[in-house]
């Protein structure tokens, strides 16, 4: 009987630092309990058979990967890139099981990529580190899927663990693990029930292009390279100034959030969450009314320190920091009120 190889990768919620990763900035994600798991058995030919626990099936020949515009592209991209990198693999059968809701803004695609790469690495004894797998995951999205994402999600799915935040410099990939003061706080993650899409040609790629245009005018490589004081002195078109202002101020908020966590200053951390959400809504234009409503409903409870849109936007989820022991009560109240007002069922994920 063929040996079976099983690996999993957990999803992530980004505490703060949104749309900063592809600008060479800083991010602060942490792992969530939801995961994607891959079970793999090797074949002696070059055929690859992919099965999903959601009754989805796809097969192709190694070396004959073709863009399909569906979930299999993340896996086809992996085998194509591995082969191009001279990593020796053969055909295999893989079954994918996931507890992560797609389109929730919690890195379901990155968890799929990393769990798949971890399983292939183990099965074929490849010499790939967690950071190398993250780089390949980003390459899959950029070159095969067509989404010009940064590397935060893949790094988080490779390295983040529950109970710790990953303070990551996405420019040089240095990181520090920050312990969350869970004796004083809870994390509440609510999926709005509105799926987001970071597909090629969508709002995500448009925002990235706008940031690159701003950098070109400012004559800098990344938006991390300018302070908010210097940015305010520059003459940028209004739209590009808004985009740049979000990124520059968001980078500063990440650093302040790290200090807040280290000092267990949850009140200030909550203020940073609200400021981040306002910036994503007003300057980056990636929030939607339903997400704004969830943030507002969370804020009405005095046991909530702060709440914000998490993920790329255009739908997805919110993350809130609450007083320890209060997240479930607040989540139940918020999702009930949200459904009454919108008719949409939101789900509590953490």
Residue pLDDT tens, the chain, 350 long: 579 999 999 999 999 999 999 999 999 999 999 999 999 999 999 999 999 877 688 999 999 999 998 889 999 999 999 988 889 999 999 999 998 877 666 778 999 999 999 999 999 999 999 999 999 999 999 999 988 888 999 999 999 999 999 999 999 999 999 999 999 999 999 999 998 654 444 688 899 999 999 999 999 999 999 999 999 999 999 999 999 999 999 999 999 999 999 999 999 999 999 999 999 999 999 999 999 999 999 999 999 999 999 988 899 999 999 999 999 999 999 999 999 999 999 999 87
First CA to last CA distance, the chain: 39
Q: Return the pLDDT at 150.
A: 83
Task: Return the closest-CA partner of residue 71 out of 105, 33, 98, 46.
Answer: 98
C-alpha count within 13 angstroms, C-beta hemisphere, residue 190 = 35
Q: Which two tokens stand for residue 77?
A: 């991209």
**pLDDT score, position 200:** 40
Burial bucket for residue 15 (CB in 10 Å: 0-12, 13-18, 19+): buried
| DSSP label of 21 | G
Q: Residue 238 in 3-state DSSP?
A: helix
Q: Are 76 and 64 in contact (CB under 8 A)?
A: no
The rounded distance, in Å, linking the Cα atoms of 170 and 26 is 6
- Tell me the C-alpha distance between 152 and 20, whole Å: 9
**Residue 153 is among the residues annotated as catalytic for this protein:** yes
Q: Which residue has the tokens 């003061």?
A: 181
Residue by residue, DSSP assigns 4-18 as EEEEEEEEEEEEE--
Of 288, 293, 210, 284, the residue nearest 250 (C-alpha): 284
Nearest-CA neighbor of 171 among 30, 309, 14, 17? 17
Q: Burial level of 136, CB count in 10 A (0-12/13-18/19+)?
A: buried
Q: What is the pLDDT of residue 148?
A: 81
Query: Per the residue annotation, which of 153, 169, 285, 328 is the catalytic one?
Result: 153
Q: For residues 209 and 344, give the distance between their C-alpha atoms in angstroms, rounded to a whole number.
A: 33
Tokens of 168: 């990551």
pLDDT at 104: 62
CA–CA distance, 258 with 278 (Å, rounded to integer): 20
Question: Distance between CA 218 and CA 209 in Å, rounded?
Answer: 14
Strands 47-52 and 92-98: parallel
Any bridge partners for residue 321, and if so which?
Answer: 187, 306
> To which H or E segment does residue 78 belong?
helix 72-84
User: Quick check: helix, strand or coil at residue 191?
Assistant: strand
As a whole number of angstroms, the distance between CA 21 and CA 23 comes to 5
Q: Quick one: pLDDT at residue 196?
A: 65
């Amino acid at each position: 009987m063929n040996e079976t190889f099983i690996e999993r990768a957990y999803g992530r919620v980004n505490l703060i630092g949104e749309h900063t990763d592809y600008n060479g900035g800083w991010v602060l994600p942490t792992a969530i309990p939801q995961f994607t798991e891959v079970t793999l058995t090797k074949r002696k030919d070059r055929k690859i058979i992919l099965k999903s626990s959601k009754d989805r099936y796809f097969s192709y020949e190694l070396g004959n990967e073709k863009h399909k515009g569906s979930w299999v592209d993340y896996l086809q991209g992996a085998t194509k890139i591995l082969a191009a990198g001279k990593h020796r693999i053969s055909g295999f059968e893989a079954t994918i099981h996931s507890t992560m809701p797609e389109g929730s803004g919690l890195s379901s695609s990155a968890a799929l990529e990393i769990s798949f790469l971890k399983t292939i690495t183990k099965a074929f004894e490849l010499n790939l580190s967690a950071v190398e797998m993250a780089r390949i995951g980003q390459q899959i999205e950029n070159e095969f899927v067509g989404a010009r994402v940064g590397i935060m999600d893949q790094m988080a799915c490779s390295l983040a663990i529950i109970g710790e935040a990953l303070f990551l410099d996405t420019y040089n990939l240095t990181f520090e693990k920050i312990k969350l003061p869970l004796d004083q706080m809870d994390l509440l993650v609510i999926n709005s029930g509105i799926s987001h899409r970071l597909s090629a040609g969508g709002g995500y790629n448009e925002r990235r292009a706008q940031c690159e245009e701003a950098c070109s005018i400012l004559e800098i490589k990344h938006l991390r390279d300018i302070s908010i004081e210097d940015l305010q002195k520059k003459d940028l078109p209004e739209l590009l100034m808004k985009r740049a202002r979000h990124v520059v101020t968001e980078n500063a908020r990440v650093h302040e959030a790290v200090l807040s966590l280290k000092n267990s200053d949850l009140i200030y951390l909550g203020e940073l969450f609200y400021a981040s959400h306002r910036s994503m809504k007003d300057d980056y234009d990636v929030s939607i009314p339903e997400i704004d409503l969830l943030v507002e409903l969370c804020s009405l409870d005095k046991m909530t320190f702060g709440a914000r849109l998490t993920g790329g936007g255009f739908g997805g989820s919110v993350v809130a920091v609450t007083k320890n022991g209060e997240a479930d009560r607040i989540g139940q109240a918020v999702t009930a009120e949200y459904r009454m007002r919108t008719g949409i069922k939101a789900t509590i994920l953490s």
